[in-house]
Amino acid sequence: MLSRIAESMFWIGRYVERAEDTARLLQTHLRLIIEDTQAHEVDACRNLLALMSVDHVEDPTLADLLGILGHDPDEPTSIYSCYAAARDNARRAREVIPLDLWECVNATWHQLPTAPFGTSGAHVFLNWVRERSAMFGGISRGIMVRDDGWQFMSMGRSLEQVDMTSRLVASASLTHGAQWPAVLRGCGGHDAFLRTYSGLYTDREAAEFLVVDARFPRSIMHGLIAAADSLQRVAQNNMMTARHAEPALRSLGQLRARLEYADLDDLITNLNEEMSVVQDVTTQVSIAVSTSYFAAEEPPAWTTEGTR
């Protein structure tokens, strides 16, 4: 598969996943902010934006938050930008992705709102984003051939899911009180969690469920395993370049071991730091994959010989 196309597939996976996860994060925190007292609004918004590495807004309001993470086309972190980037990549890889999948991404992009909306509009919008991402996931799982393109897309999706779950988990330490149920609900895993732990739980179990329980598909562990799996399959399919997968596989494996054998109490005490480590590793892996497979080339520059 062409390196350029592989790169597009990787980023389609990442951006669609990021759009969905941003919607989940926003939805979770909209609820927390509204249930909290008004005095905390600016703090809560600022914390949430910091978590998404946005720090250019002084005293953000709820409306700023919805713009920056939601509908503003000029903000690189917004859901709008995620879908615009996903669509741009899908357009570049159009001959390798199924027609239905392209139409799903293209139609979503066409229907994206750009005008600001209030909190009630926000829920409609965020639900819609999650539905579109679910549709994307369903179509791709249903009809895509499991070739390298699929593997790169899954790899991107898994890495993004690891990164975003770590941010969502870190957000649990932002506000004090009963935020774990909200975070679990944000992942769509609240009911599954209650069933797994018979309704009796502490922060410790919640963190365990979201970080190290590989059975839950939105957990960090599940994402790490899935990303490594995709990478290994790419290596198997391309025996000549099998060694290219090694740096990325090593980083993924090291992080996996670190989380798997972590003392859960320490993990909760240092939740923020540990989640930063997770985000660092996903960045490293992403860079390793691009250097090994996407072969970033300098555009050729031509110089004229001698004097005329």
Minimum CB distance to another protein smaller for 43 or for 88 = 88
Show the 3-state SS of 101-153: HHHHHHHHHHHCCCCCCCHHHHHHHHHHHHHHHHHHHHHHHHHCCCCHHHHHH
**303: which DSSP letter?**
-
Calpha distance 37→53 (Å, rounded) = 25
Minimum CB distance to another protein smaller for 1 or for 52 = 1
State how far the alpha carbon of 113 is from the alpha carbons of 16, 25, 128, in Å.
17, 19, 11
Neighbours of 61 (CB within 10 A): 12
Query: Measured from the CB of residue 235, what is the shortest distance to another protein in angstroms?
Result: 10
Query: Measured from the CB of residue 144, what is the shortest distance to another protein in angstroms?
Result: 14
Minimum CB distance to another protein smaller for 34 or for 295 = 295
Q: Are 165 and 210 in contact (CB under 8 A)?
A: yes
Tell which phi-psi region holds residue 59, choosing left (phi > 0), alpha (psi between -120 and 50) or beta: left
Q: What's the first-to-final CA gap in the chain, in angstroms?
A: 44
Minimum CB distance to another protein smaller for 64 or for 148 = 148
Minimum CB distance to another protein smaller for 200 or for 296 = 296
Calpha distance 268→58 (Å, rounded) = 30
Query: Measured from the CB of residue 234, what is the shortest distance to another protein in angstroms?
Result: 7
Residues at the interface with another protein (CB under 8 A): 1-6, 88, 91-92, 94-96, 99, 102-103, 106-107, 110, 148, 152, 234, 237-238, 240-241, 293, 295, 297, 299-300, 302, 304
Query: Measured from the CB of residue 93, what is the shortest distance to another protein in angstroms?
Result: 9
Minimum CB distance to another protein smaller for 92 or for 190 = 92
Query: Measured from the CB of residue 299, what is the shortest distance to another protein in angstroms?
Result: 6
Query: Measured from the CB of residue 134, what is the shortest distance to another protein in angstroms?
Result: 19
Residue 48's Cβ-side half-sphere holds a number of Cα atoms within 13 Å equal to 30
Minimum CB distance to another protein smaller for 152 or for 216 = 152
Query: Measured from the CB of residue 161, what is the shortest distance to another protein in angstroms?
Result: 22
